[in-house]
Amino acid sequence: MTEDRTIKILQLYPREMNIYGDWGNVLVLKQRLKWYGYQPVVEEYNAGDEFPADVDIIVGGGGQDSGQVVIQQDLQQLAPTLQGLAEDGLPMLVICGLYQLFGRFFKTHEGALIPGIGILDMETHGGDVRLIGNVLSVSEEFGEIHGYENHSGQTFLGPGVKPLAEIRKGEGNNTKDSTEGARYKNVVASYLHGSLLPKNPAIADFLIEKAAIRKFGSFSPVPRSEEDLAELSKLSEMARQHAGQRPR
Amino acid sequence: MSSFSILVGKLVRSASKLRGGGSALPGLVVEKIDPDFIRRTLADLPLGVAVVSGTNGKTTTTKMVVELLESQGLKVFTNRTGSNFTRGVAAALLGEVNLRGHLDADIAVLELDEAHAVHFVKLIQPRYSLLLNVLRDQLDRFGEIDKTTRLLESIARATTETVVLNREDPRVAGIADSLNGQRAVYFGLDASLRSTFPNDDEMRGSLAEALAATQEADVVLERVSETDADFLVDGQVRTTGLKLRGVYNIFNAAAALAFARTIKGKNLDSDALFEALANVEPAFGRGESLTVNGQPLELVLVKNPSGFRLGLKSFAAHGYSTMIAINDNYADGRDMSWLWDVDFESLAEGGVDVVSGVRAYDMALRLKYDDVPVRTIEPDITDGLKRFIKDSPGVPMRIFCTYTAMLAVRRELSKITKVEVVS
């Protein structure tokens, strides 16, 4: 009998919440898992679907404000499931729109309250400026994080979560403090699309490692493609260096 | 006053041409000294003003509309230089008007950038407008594509007679609901082609859901091949050979046909219309074919995931050397994440010869994750292009490039080969 090495990646709401390359994050996880000798399985969850069993990593992306409105009711129904998985240490990556909805609420600029699912102790307020541009931030856990932000919501973290990183260029969570993103258990949340994982493979590897440990008890890469991984790490580093020099 | 400002404008125009300067400066000067110049000059045209807008394909579509209307015997004024802001229109007008400010034309067909069109239509209400699409290559300008939709909506609402809409783009088709009395006319695709043109909501390929067409379309693109296409018009299928390449251009041909038919109305010479369409050459940098070292070289402009996907689908990868040049300057869009919504697997077999541009490494990284081999990474476009041509002896070449990368490639190519220059 061959050893089970499958890891199931679930992309949340790809139809409404995939406006800017969020698929790239899924693809990066999928390919890196393959190169580490695991068998990635990618599934999608859209509003109204049955939530699949045995999920190992969850990825959620950004959408337009109108997309958030479309999914909000379905997301509320899903809330207990996602809360349970987050508490259980399931690795999750949520970007932009879904990052906002993983908090307590998103109060729009017009004053409407879109409830979140409260996995992250934070709240988001619609602002009158849109924060758009290249971002460079620094995280103790992951080093430099490069990406691109495009949001009007301003997020304020509560004591129950830590920021993902500190901003060096750009705005991040809001225009008041210099934090970017949020960290809780194995949940990584960020405003950076860009896409986040291609240029920040340390975060991809964190999610993969946590998923493997949660499922199999250990992370045991079988690097069948050392050459691929070496080339990849060189390309990521060069892409990061170039991105870091670009104007806001 | 008007003769004076026109004279000054014409002088600045000649001076800036001598200097090799930009096309908009004379327009800027006239705007300053004679703000009513554009409105006054366009007001007397017998068929008024027709505006073409949308996020993608404006330049080629405008060129098609002009040539289609000319086939019907109309004299058409247009802003050919691609400077599609108000001052670009003023600059183009300066070249055409006589010193008394009279423009000898039946109609003005203007390509307008969606954000600038909003200001333009406040100044001059178009009689007709053609709204092509809302794709996401401008997100770093507008934040959300829903915002872009609202810009197009205000063009539609300012139009006095007829708005021609893309039935297959849900955001554009939805503009019909906001009209206040204008007539809506549609162009569309046959159901068999809808999956070929994914819109931004259907970017995750396998889940693409074809929208059921509910509106009757004036022109329907029924079939596309590399050399010709079928259009359904007045209940009849017309097969037309095309010099334009790329399926997106051919869908825009359906848009141009519907627009020209709307403007001409009765007494349309349909044979002349399709003959003109067959002869339309690609616009500046949009699927141009050049010759370098005796080999064909194609430039394919890519600005967003839908466009890049269609570009890859439109041209067989087999038998070509491939270069990709990606810049992230303001005119290209600074955000690179859209590259992750393009599927590059069709290039895996032949690989990519040269990846170039400011964001060459982002592109190379993207290709690596699709298992596409890359031979050379050279961010400098001049060096990358030289290498590409040197390494492709006896092989046709194709370059996918963002807007400013295309300008750089053209500049370098003009040193090697004859490149068509749009005046």
**How confident is the model over B210-230, as pLDDT tens digits?**
455 578 999 999 998 878 999
- Edge-to-edge strand order for the sheet containing B352-356? B288-292, B295-301, B397-401, B321-325, B352-356, B374-378
Q: Are strands A122-139 and A105-107 parallel, antiparallel or unpaired?
A: parallel
Backbone phi and psi for residue A42, each to the nearest 5 degrees, phi listed first? -110, 125
pLDDT for residue B130 is more than 50: yes
Of B289, B292, B286, residue with least CA distance to B386: B292
Q: What is the DSSP string of B346-387?
A: GGTTT-EEEEESTTHHHHHHHHHHTT--EEEEESSHHHHHHH
Judge contact between B50 and B109, C-beta under 8 A: yes
- A150 shares contact with chain B (CB less than 8 Å): yes
- A148 shares contact with chain B (CB less than 8 Å): yes
ipTM over 0.90: yes
What CATH architecture does domain A6-245 belong to? Answer: 3-Layer(aba) Sandwich (3.40)
**How confident is the model over B395-412, as pLDDT tens digits?**
999 999 999 999 999 999
Q: Is A61 helix (H, G, I), strand (E, B) or coil?
A: coil
DSSP state of B345: G
Chain A residues touching residue B340 (CB < 8 angstroms): 21-25, 27, 195, 198
Chain A residues touching residue B336 (CB < 8 angstroms): 148, 194, 243
Domain ranges of chain A: 6-245
| CA distance linking residue B78 with residue B111, whole number of Å | 8
Which helix (H) or strand (E) element contains residue B253? Answer: helix B247-264
Q: What is the DSSP string of B273-295?
A: HHHHHHHPPPPTTSSEEEEETTE
Query: Measured on CA atoms in the order A229, A230, A231, A237, is the torsion positive or negative?
Result: positive
| CA distance linking residue A144 with residue A155, whole number of Å | 21
Query: Residues of A at the annotated binding site for substrate?
Result: 130
CB pairs under 8 A between A and B: 111
Rounded alpha-carbon distances, angstroms, from residue B167 to A57, B163, B189: 38, 12, 8
pLDDT in tens, chain A (248 residues): 568 899 999 999 988 888 777 889 999 999 999 999 999 999 999 999 999 999 999 999 988 777 777 898 999 999 999 999 999 999 999 999 999 999 999 998 888 898 999 999 999 999 989 899 999 999 999 999 999 999 999 999 999 999 999 999 999 999 999 999 999 999 999 999 878 999 999 999 999 999 999 999 999 998 777 888 888 899 999 999 999 899 88
| CA distance linking residue B82 with residue B66, whole number of Å | 14
Q: Is B203 helix (H, G, I), strand (E, B) or coil?
A: coil
**CB nearest to B340's CB, from A24, A130, A133:** A24
Average pLDDT of chain B, as a whole number: 85
pTM of the model: 0.77
